[in-house]
Amino acid sequence: EVQLQASGGGSVQAGGTLRLSCAASGFGFDDFAIGWFRQAPGMRREVVSYTSRRDGTEYYADSVKGRFAMSSDSAKNTMYLQMKSLKPEDTAFYYCAAGRVAHRLRYGVADYWGKGTQVTVSS
């Protein structure tokens, strides 16, 4: 059974740092692109970033470029999203997803969606 679980969210002040984790089971990271998404109340879901170990693809939304960084631990089948210099506008529910075609993640097309974690940034 394929499962994705995001964790590591919390409440921080503007300028703070958080690291989200996306633990995957039931498939290998090398076979899928992994993406991070977020959705704020009343807003549409947006892609934050995604990466594919298979072809080296890496994408960051302009709003997070330079502040967020992805990394992974293959032994743990876990993807991380390091978030620094957080802003109140980063407040959202964050979740991860896996897709067989990396660039489709940019448009919100994924094969598996995981449960998310809340990130709240106060000013």
Q: Is the pLDDT of residue 112 over 90?
A: yes
pLDDT of residue 27: 84
Give the percent of the chain with pLDDT over 90.
87
In the predicted model, what is the mean pLDDT of residues 72-98? 95
- Tell me which H or E stretch contains 106: none
Per-residue model confidence (pLDDT) at position 20: 98
- Cα 118 from Cα 7, distance rounded (Å): 8
User: Across all residues in the chain, what is the average pLDDT?
Assistant: 94
63 or 30: which carries more pLDDT confidence? 63
Q: What is the band of 30 on the pLDDT scale with cuts at 50, 70, 90?
A: confident
Tokens encoding 51:
């990466």
- Angstrom distance (rounded) from CA 105 to CA 44: 15
